[in-house]
Amino acid sequence: MIRNVIEDQGKVVFICLITVLFSILPVGYYIVLLNVPEKVIQNFIFDNFENIFGLKLSPTEESLVWSLTVSSQGVGALIGCLMVGPISKYGAKHVLMRWNNVILIAGSLLMFVSYWISFPIAFIIGRILTGVYTGLACAFAPLYLQQVIPKNIKGSMSCFLHIAVCFGSSIGAVFSLPFMFGDEDTWPILVVLPAFFGFVMLGASYFIPDTPNNLLQMGRYTEAIESIKFYYDIEDSDEDEIIKEYWDMVPEMPEQLSLCSAFMNSSIRRGILLGMVVSATQIFSGSMVSISYSTEMFRAVSFIDILVPFLPALGSIISILLTIPALRWVETRGRRPLLLKTLMFCIAANVFLLIFTLMSSERTGWASWGFAAAFFMYGVGYNLGVGPVAYFLPAELVPPEAASASLGAAVAVNWICTITTTLFYYPLSKLVGGWSYLIFIIPTSLFSMILWRLLPETKFHYKDSDLQIDPLEIRLLTDLGPSIAPNYGTLDLDEPTLF
């Protein structure tokens, strides 16, 4: 079965894997970027603030400025989320592979230039631009997958979004080590490296056609058929049969509703709100803070100093390995149980992080190793379920015509929560130590209760009923009339996955 899936759909799987990897890798890279070379970039910002503005920052002011610098990526991502609805009409492929990479290149170059002109404001603006890239990439990558990936491996493929983030984080963590590009002279190279992926994706966009779904919606049937042949290697002289075969593999993604229009429907509104809760849970479990401040966390519990700079890279690699089982479990065990059970794991891990941090302040030597074990425990829970599932679940909680609205709202909430946690954790950790983990434990516990009661299973969201009207027939007879949303259908327990 696995061999048949790869043989039949190998080309589209490869295209999607490379597209997702190159689009999402810079997201993880920039999330972890300021973690290891923290002191080096802090000195650049603080010293130039004093030189330019004549301001000598106090320790409290320095912690606030640094929190604002770290969270500025979230500010940009939130701006990007607000752009999702208005620009979704131009197609996921064009936004993801062209326009967004122009933003990535501009942001990377601006951070690079800030070093040479000794102007930290340019660095922060560049980080905001890479945040805009992040927000758009996190919304349009799942939409792109929904428009081209066959439904029998959609869940498994969607988990690669999380793997791509982890892979980007591991590359960023390794490159930011002091003997690589993380010292005071080479960090400009560190911040500009993702521009390479931007140029690669821009070049590739001229060779990869638009998605068949988007072309069919615009009535460009000749281009749509060529696109289907490109992605799926379908060879048939009958054009209607080619389109029918495409619709049999990929759920139809109709013209997208605006967020306001989607909210007018009560059932869609419920799905969007649940997707927003899922997205908030992913961040308030502690994910972004653990990526952005892991070195600070381990220094706070007096962990072995020589090992601390290597922990982000090691953690990212472990995250990739831990996500591999999720590729199968997301299909075989369902989205709901996988999310809820791993969420309980994350809450327990945060409780242990709080306890061991408090113990370490009393000079209990073994507490730092207990903290490391709890940190690994959190990684297990997050990467097996909470992390990968939250990337695509919001789109499955609503009908296909509301997918972009739901993803846009969910990613917006995701980055509002990122701004909140990355902005407040650092000052709180300096002020109250281990009690700062309560900003994860309390909200996540509340969100878990909501999801336990209201979250449905969405694994079979795109299963076709035997009685469902053929979308090709509808299009041929009504000349692109109102779209027919896929129904919930019969269960096929032998559905293949990538594994």
pLDDT digits (tens, 9 = 90+) for 372-394: 888 888 888 888 888 888 877 88
pLDDT at 327: 65
Q: Are 175 and 35 in contact (CB under 8 A)?
A: no
For the cut 70, the answer to whether the pLDDT of residue 499 exceeds it is: no
Of 483 and 253, which is predicted with more confidence? 253
Percent of the chain surpassing pLDDT 90: 17
Residue 101: is its pLDDT beyond 50?
yes
Q: Does 371 score more than 70 pLDDT?
A: yes
Tell me what pLDDT residue 460 has: 57
Radius of gyration of the chain (CA): 23
Average pLDDT over residues 469-486: 39
In a domain, 494, yes or no: no
Q: What is the pLDDT of residue 482?
A: 38
pLDDT at 490: 33
List the CATH number of the domain containing 50: 1.20.1250.20
The answer to whether 114 and 123 have CB atoms below 8 angstroms apart is: yes
Average pLDDT over residues 235-255: 74
Per mean pLDDT, which range of 25-34, 71-80, 175-184, 256-265 is the poorest?
256-265
CA distance 210 to 95: 11
Residue 451 has a pLDDT of 92
Query: Is the model's pLDDT at 161 over the cut of 90?
Result: no
The helix (H) or strand (E) run that includes residue 73 is helix 59-87
- Residue 490 resides in a domain: no
- Split into its structural domains, the chain has a count of 1
pLDDT at residue 488 in the model: 34
Give me 237's structure tokens: 């002289």
Q: What pLDDT is attached to residue 129?
A: 95
Predicted pLDDT at 237: 65
Residue 104 contacts residue 195 (beta carbons within 8 Å): yes
Average pLDDT value over all residues in the chain: 79
pLDDT digits (tens, 9 = 90+) for 271-292: 999 999 999 998 898 887 877 7
Residue 492 pLDDT > 90, yes or no?
A: no
DSSP three-state, residue 477 = helix
Res. 466: pLDDT tops 50: no
Q: Report the pLDDT value the prediction gives residue 382, as an integer from 0 to 100.
A: 86
Helix or strand run (H / E) with residue 145: helix 120-148
- The pLDDT of residue 200 is 92
In this prediction, residue 362 has a pLDDT band, given cuts at 50, 70 and 90, of: low
List, as one string, the DSSP characters of 271-321.
HHHHHHHHHHHHHHTTHHHHHHSHHHHHHHTT--TTTGGGHHHHHHHHHHH
Q: Is residue 493 part of a domain?
A: no
491 occurs within a structural domain = no
Region 459-469: what's the mean pLDDT?
44
Residue pLDDT, tens place only, 141-160: 888 887 887 776 666 676 77
Which residues have a Cβ under 8 Å from the Cβ of 267 and sit 6 or more positions away? Answer: none
In a domain, 246, yes or no: yes
Structure tokens belonging to residue 124: 């922060």
Q: Residue 260: what pLDDT?
A: 82
Tell me, yes or no, whether 499 lies in a domain: no
Position 419 in a domain: yes
Average pLDDT over residues 56-84: 83
Name the residue range of residue 454's domain: 2-478
Q: Given pLDDT bands bounded at 50, 70 and 90, which one contains residue 470? A: very low
SS3 325: helix
Q: How far is CA 401 from the centre of its chain?
A: 21
Cα–Cα distances in Å, from 468 out to 251, 462, 463, 486? 12, 12, 10, 8
Lowest-pLDDT choice from 41-55, 352-366, 453-467? 453-467
pTM: 0.71
In the chain, the percentage of residues whose pLDDT exceeds 70 is 84
The pLDDT assigned to 440 comes to 92
Asked if the structure places residue 483 within a domain, the reply is no
pLDDT (tens digit per residue) in 176-214: 888 888 888 889 999 999 999 999 999 988 888 888 888
